[in-house]
Amino acid sequence: MIKTDYLVIGSGIAGLSFALKAAGKGTVAVVSKKQLSDAATNYAQGGIAAVWSREDSFEEHIQDTCEAGAGLCNPEVAGVVVREGPQRIKELVEIGVNFAVTEGKTENDFELGLEGGHSKRRIFHSGDATGAAIEKTLIESAKKNSNIIFYENHIAIDLITTGKLKRKFAGKDEKCWGAYVLDTKGKKVITFLARAVVLAAGGAGKVYLYTTNPDISTGDGMAMAYRCGATLANMEFVQFHPTCLFHPRAKSFLISEALRGEGARLLKKDGSPFMEKYHKLKELAPRDIVARAIDAELKESGDDHVYLDITHRPADFVKKRFPNIYQKCLEFGIDITKNYIPVVPAAHYFCGGVVSDLHGQTSVRNLFAIGETAFTGLHGANRLASNSLLEALVFAHRAGEKASECVSENDEFPSVPQWDIGHATDSSESVVVSQNWEEIRHFMWNYVGIVRSNKRLERAKRRIDLLLAEISEYYWDFIVTSDLIELRNIAAVADLVIRSAQGRKESRGLHYNIDFPGLDKSAKDTYIRRFDNKP
């Protein structure tokens, strides 16, 4: 058993930023299911949005955020995130993140990028590998802090709550005390007890067949929160990034929206542009519109991809601004300074998640959710590009302040039983896990993707119900492995997406249902909780 003041689940931008803030006030255990840098953060390309230029204003960033969010953004949250953004960026610069600076200018003259939905240049970037620059610096800083202890290759299985201990959900008094965590190398389950528990486990792109996300993005934080009775919201709003590289050997490689910010155009296979048919901002329209436009063009033409073309920009500029994308495409025989880039949309970001307030606090006491796992109300029905890293930073800071109150209460830890394996045995049937995993990802792509219908959602619901029952049976019969834990979580998240999508009787932002094509002005956020009929 490990006792700590703060338990942080996840080592992306959210978890590490929180750990750095909390370490000044107590001991922090960071568990991460693979290596520390195995996080979506490490793959972020475009950058972080924040108001910096004199030509920009907080009001404009808030307005762009709310416009992209299609009527569901919480303006108070947008105001907080946008106004606190520049200070959080300064802190990243102070610890050593090397955001690009305009050539020949002083060190604070940052070269700001542009992406879809932004009316001004406001994207801080480190070339096209911004996430890697941030992740590396955060890891280096956190490693220097003796109050932070890392547990790599440790996957959280479930949260320990008062309800779990008493076998009865305590409603408003539900309190989180820690988590059961599988040490995947040592092959044992460890009980972590903490006075504040932080879910920073990232998103859930792996619920879909095609995704820009790394393998760790299996929605574990959302699924654990749901199982312990926390409230989740807006799980139907899954963002599909319009431009993922289409190549048989490329696994989930994103072609940043920043290319379109620098003039790249979308073309059909015959070389003709099409975005002007869909939005006045053409290639720089909000992401939901661009992804749906590509989907419509592909369905109409029967083609399997469209092209992105940046060949009209000088080769030197392209190589310098997008070195990572240039190099990666070259490995697949595509010289982006001369050739069109084949692209398709892919699942990218979960706008919904675990409901958390302005301090990252969830509906379960002492349980916080930050980063992509959380639903703060910032993104509404469609996230504005490069607002995710920003949201994670702002809420990690705010949660850090609030969680210190839980720690200073200094409550006695309850008596918690060790993980009980019961009659579970080692499974010799891992094919069941891979089969179920593939099945879920296929039908989520086909039935609960960019364009949905009532029939497709019903089909998906019937399938997920069967699989949930099968997985639950299998889960209790066999000793837990990380594959089984992740399968159980992607099934739980798929079910939440389907049920939330079925509940929304309109089309808005990222949720488009051909049976309800119009907008219902009275429609609000979709809340979902496991113990809805309980106190």
For the annotated catalytic residues, the residue numbers are 287
How far, rounded to the nearest angstrom, does the alpha carbon of residue 47 sit from its chain's CA centroid? Answer: 15
45 binds ligand SIN (CB under 6 A): yes
Answer yes or no whether residue 388 interacts with ligand SIN by CB under 6 A: yes
Q: Is residue 257 near ligand SIN by the rule CB under 6 A?
A: yes
In the complex, the smallest distance separating the C-beta of residue 318 from ligand SIN, rounded to whole angstroms, is 15
Q: Residue from 29, 258, 289, 399 that binds ligand SIN (CB under 6 A)?
A: 258
Piece of 156-164, 175-183, 256-264, 422-430 that binds ligand SIN (CB under 6 A): 256-264
291 binds, among ligand SIN, ligand FAD, none (CB under 5 to 8 A by kind): none
CB-wise, 327 or 472, nearer to ligand SIN?
327
What gap in Å lies between CA 481 and CA 426, rounded to an integer? Answer: 9
Neighbours of 153 (CB within 10 A): 16
* Interacting residues with ligand FAD (CB under 6 A): 9-15, 31-34, 38-41, 43-48, 130-131, 155-156, 200-203, 212-213, 216-217, 220, 254, 349, 371-373, 386-389, 392
Residue closer to ligand FAD by CB (options 124, 278) is 124
Q: Which does 369 bind (CB under 5 to 8 A by kind): ligand SIN, ligand FAD, none?
A: none
Q: What is the dihedral of CA 217, 468, 352, 182, to 10 degrees?
A: -40
Closest residue to ligand SIN in the complex (CB): 46
Three-state DSSP class for 513? Answer: strand
220 binds, among ligand FAD, ligand SIN, none (CB under 5 to 8 A by kind): ligand FAD
Q: Are 33 and 216 in contact (CB under 8 A)?
A: yes
What contacts 5, CB < 8 A, 6 or more positions away?
22, 25, 26, 27, 28, 194, 195, 196, 407
Residue 525: other Cβ atoms inside 10 A: 17
Tell me how far CA of residue 435 lies from CA of 157, 484, 511, in angstroms. 21, 12, 28
**How near is the Cβ of 213 to ligand FAD at its closest, in Å?**
5
Residue 144 Cα distances to 138, 141, 477, angstroms:
10, 5, 42
Cα–Cα distance, 484 to 433 (Å, whole number): 6
* Binding partner of 18, given ligand FAD, ligand SIN, none, CB within 5-8 angstroms per partner class: none
* C-beta of 170 vs 329, nearer to ligand FAD: 329
Nearer to ligand SIN, 195 or 260 (CB): 260
Phi/psi at 182 (5° precision): -90, 125
Footprint on this chain of ligand SIN (rule: CB under 6 A)? 45-46, 256-258, 385-386, 388
